[in-house]
């Protein structure tokens, strides 16, 4: 077996080190690049989303006294809808989001809160960011918050929802699956 002298291997070692250094110095993907897998129109694919939401509301209100629990469940049932359509677009470093009838709203991806309106006209603060590999949309009012987490599961989009309110003993948490919307052809 022939042994190459160390000096003959030195250029190869230097080339490998240079390539590794160049790779390490490459720019990490921008937040806009991380949003691209979520871009598009999505349709709800859950068989019975209302039942999932009802279970989440029941769990979130279970610790309330009977009378208060029934009032809270009735109010929440009227206020929480499964978003039938979700539209995510990208405009530079701004995500343009429509959740059902809420939106479209332009939210910078840097996590900064901006003013927005709820479906009923209530003023709120909203923001968008990438956290733990998910696109996160947060809406806040003086009474609580709604945090929407989008993540991909194969070719599906999963919308995770967390609703918090000072008057609730537990957060209301649920997940709903979405598939790419089919565009009707004329």
Q: Are 139 and 124 in contact (CB under 8 A)?
A: yes
Residue 10 lies in a domain: no
Residue 161 lies in a domain: yes
- Whole-prediction pTM: 0.78
Phi, psi of 70, deg, nearest 5: -65, -40
Residue 25 lies in a domain: no
Q: For residue 113, what are the domain limits?
A: 31-180
Q: Are 138 and 147 in contact (CB under 8 A)?
A: yes
Residue 23 lies in a domain: no
Residue 112 lies in a domain: yes
Q: Minimal CA–CA distance to 94: which of 69, 111, 77?
A: 111
Specify the number of domains making up the chain.
Answer: 1
Cβ partners under 8 Å of residue 45, min gap 6: 156, 177, 178, 179
Tokens of 73: 């469940």
Residue 21 lies in a domain: no
CATH number, position 152: 2.40.128.20
Spell out, as residue ranges, where the chain has pLDDT lower than 70.
1-26, 183-186
Residue 19 lies in a domain: no
Residue 20: predicted pLDDT: 54
Residue 158 lies in a domain: yes
Query: What's the pLDDT tens digit per position in 148-172?
Result: 999 999 999 999 999 999 888 999 9
């Amino acid at each position: 077996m022939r042994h190459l002298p160390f000096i003959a291997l030195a250029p190869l070692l230097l080339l490998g080190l240079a390539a590794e250094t160049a790779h390490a110095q490459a720019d990490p993907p921008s937040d806009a690049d991380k949003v691209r897998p979520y871009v598009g129109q999505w349709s709800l694919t859950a068989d019975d989303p209302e039942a999932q939401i009802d279970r989440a509301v029941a769990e979130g209100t279970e610790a309330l006294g009977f009378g208060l629990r029934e009032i809270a469940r009735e109010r929440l049932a009227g206020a929480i809808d499964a978003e039938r359509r979700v539209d995510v677009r990208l405009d530079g470093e701004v995500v343009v989001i429509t959740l059902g009838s809420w939106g479209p709203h332009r939210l910078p991806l840097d996590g900064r809160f901006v003013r927005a309106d709820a479906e009923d006209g209530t003023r709120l603060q909203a923001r968008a960011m990438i956290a733990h590999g998910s696109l996160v949309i947060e809406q806040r009012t003086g009474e609580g918050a709604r945090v929407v987490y989008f993540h991909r599961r194969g070719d599906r989009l999963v919308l995770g929802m967390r609703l918090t309110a000072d008057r609730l003993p537990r957060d209301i948490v649920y997940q709903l699956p979405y598939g790419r919307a089919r565009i009707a052809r004329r």
